Amino acid sequence: MTQANARAGIWLMVVATFIFAVQDGISRHLAESYNVFMIVMIRYWFFLFFVVSVSRIRNGSVMATARTQQPILQFFRGVLLAFEILVTVLAFTYLGLIEAHAIFAIYPLMVAALSGPVLGESVGWRRWGAISVGFVGMLIILQPGFKVFSPYALIAIGGAVLFALYNLLTRLAAAKDTAATSFFWTGLGGFVIMTIIGPFYWEPMAGPDWWWMALLCVTGASGHYLLIKAYEKTEASTVQPFAYLQLVFASMIGVAIFGESLPLSTAAGAGLIVVAGIFTLWREQVAKA
């Protein structure tokens, strides 16, 4: 890995996280007026087109990319991610971007905590300590506000749990399949399940909102493309800590566009979660080394 590649990978990750934050803001805007099932379904229609195009360009054919020894696992991963997106967009609507993202940032620590029982990985006391610190940070976010007594905070926590499980299953699938194969099945699984469910929730969409919907699809595809390029440039361990910038960018959008506030308790709790998450990523690399 050269220093130039590492720098390029980091910048690609930073831009990708900004695009994903914009995507989250558009998702919240649309979900305030339209059913979330329809929004996610249209996203997956475009996303599958993007996945198929990438498969043809990189591997010459879709069938070569789709070939897998574990189709049930791969398909279930895609379904799981689709439901995670549904839940998380709902969290944006009920909690706002800032608080939802602050809670959602706990997912890497959930991955570390569940990697033992699910993947059989060894989790040392240092990582358990970081996991504990992260969960304290989440309690700091939840406790001062009235939302702790409502189901809304549980929506964001549920999204984090689903995304953590998706990440664990992705690690499991990586033992036999390439990243390109997993990426293809991510799009296919979500497309199938949302096309089955979504039409029952179809609503007429106003003309200007179709432009927002188109921008949502484009940001989703371009963000994933930049993410792929970032991982091609350098190791995941180099760029992964910068994924936390999505919390920063989403908070800026929440304050500037949606008039959300950033309480000191939310900032402090999110800070603890991010520090604990970065430490956990570092310890995983040390353990692998």
In tens digits, what is the pLDDT along the chain, a chain of 289 residues? 566 677 888 889 889 999 999 999 999 999 999 999 999 999 999 999 999 988 888 777 888 889 999 999 999 999 999 999 999 999 999 999 998 998 898 888 888 787 777 666 666 767 778 778 877 777 777 765 554 456 788 899 999 999 999 988 988 898 898 888 998 999 999 999 999 999 999 999 988 999 999 999 999 889 888 888 887 787 766 777 788 888 889 999 999 999 988 888 788 888 888 888 788 777 767 666 6
- The Cα–Cα gap between 101 and 127 comes to 22
Burial class (CB in 10 A: 0-12, 13-18, 19+), 261: exposed
**Which domain does 63 fall in, by range?**
3-288
Q: Give the model's pLDDT for residue 289.
A: 63
What the block records as the tokens of 174 is 């990586």
Q: How far is CA 60 from CA 65, 123, 229, 235, 278, in A?
A: 9, 40, 19, 25, 37
Q: What share of the chain is helix, strand, coil (3-state, %, to 5)?
A: 85, 0, 15
Axis-axis angle for helices 97-104, 3-31 (nearest 10): 130
Q: Give the model's pLDDT for residue 90.
A: 95
Number of domains forming the structure of the chain: 1
Q: Under a CB-based contact definition with an 8 Å cutoff, are residues 47 and 191 in contact? A: yes
- The Cα–Cα gap between 26 and 31 comes to 8
DSSP 200: G
Dihedral, CA atoms, 22, 210, 222, 112, nearest 10 degrees? 60
Of 141, 65, 81, which Cα lies nearest the Cα of 105?
Answer: 141
What global pTM score does this model have? 0.87
Chain mean position to CA 24? 10
